[in-house]
């Protein structure tokens, strides 16, 4: 259902910002995997900042529908990697997984610096877009750090856990991860304001002083 306070202009800005954020996120995964020794992302054309190379059809549809419903959730095309090609498989897998959320936080930080330094001379439209871009970058990073498969947080946790604990965790996620992910999306309106909304506001204040 379309939310009652729907505004078309901010919605369009949010969609553009989401595409940019997802592109940055997936490019960071692909580039870091390639630098770690895996040629798979390069061969699949993922070392690119062209959004078309990174958008997933269902993820894009979900992005639009969920934004219309009042919370923006979407995903890009997963970057395929082969950890056996990494020079240090366990730790390279951790770095590749981290670089997705980290790239969004870095982008948000850079946008925050721009707003802080030259925001007073910007048009209202540009300032609004940059604020939305910063907010979505932070929210996307935090969302992906949730340790539920297939989010980056699950791969990060697997790399940090002792081997036997990681094996049991992966087994649990293989059986129940998708159900947990669906539950996360269904309950999004209730839990995202707490686990994503509050930290996002804190980081926005830290980055730009709003």
26 has catalytic annotation: yes
Contact 93, 86 (CB under 8 A): yes
Say which of 26, 39, 124, 164 is annotated catalytic.
26
Q: Give every CB contact of residue 15 below 8 A, 6+ residues apart in sequence.
A: 63, 64, 67
In DSSP terms, which residues pair with 55 in a beta bridge? Answer: 76
Q: Which two tokens stand for residue 35?
A: 């630098």
Helix axis angle for 198-208 and 89-118, nearest 10°, is 60
Burial class (CB in 10 A: 0-12, 13-18, 19+), 117: exposed
Cβ neighbours of 87 (radius 10 Å) = 10
Residues labelled catalytic: 26
């Amino acid at each position: 259902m379309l939310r009652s306070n729907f505004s078309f202009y901010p919605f369009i800005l949010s969609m553009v910002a989401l595409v940019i954020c997802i592109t940055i996120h997936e490019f960071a995964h692909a580039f870091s995997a390639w630098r770690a020794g895996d040629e798979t992302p390069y061969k699949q054309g993922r070392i690119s900042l062209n959004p078309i190379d990174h958008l997933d059809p269902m993820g894009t549809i979900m992005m639009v529908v969920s934004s219309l419903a009042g919370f923006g959730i979407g995903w890009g095309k997963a970057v395929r990697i082969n950890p056996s090609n990494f020079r240090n498989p366990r730790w390279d897998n951790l770095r590749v997984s981290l670089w997705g959320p980290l790239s969004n936080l870095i982008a948000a930080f850079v946008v925050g610096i721009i707003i802080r330094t030259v925001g007073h001379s910007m048009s209202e439209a540009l300032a609004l877009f940059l604020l939305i871009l910063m907010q979505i970058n932070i929210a996307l990073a935090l969302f992906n750090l949730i340790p539920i498969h297939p989010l980056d947080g699950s791969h990060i946790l697997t790399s940090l856990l002792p081997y036997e604990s990681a094996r049991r965790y992966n087994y649990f996620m293989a059986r129940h991860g998708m159900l947990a992910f669906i539950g996360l999306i269904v309950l999004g309106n209730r839990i995202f304001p707490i686990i994503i909304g509050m930290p996002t506001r804190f980081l926005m204040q830290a980055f730009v002083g709003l």
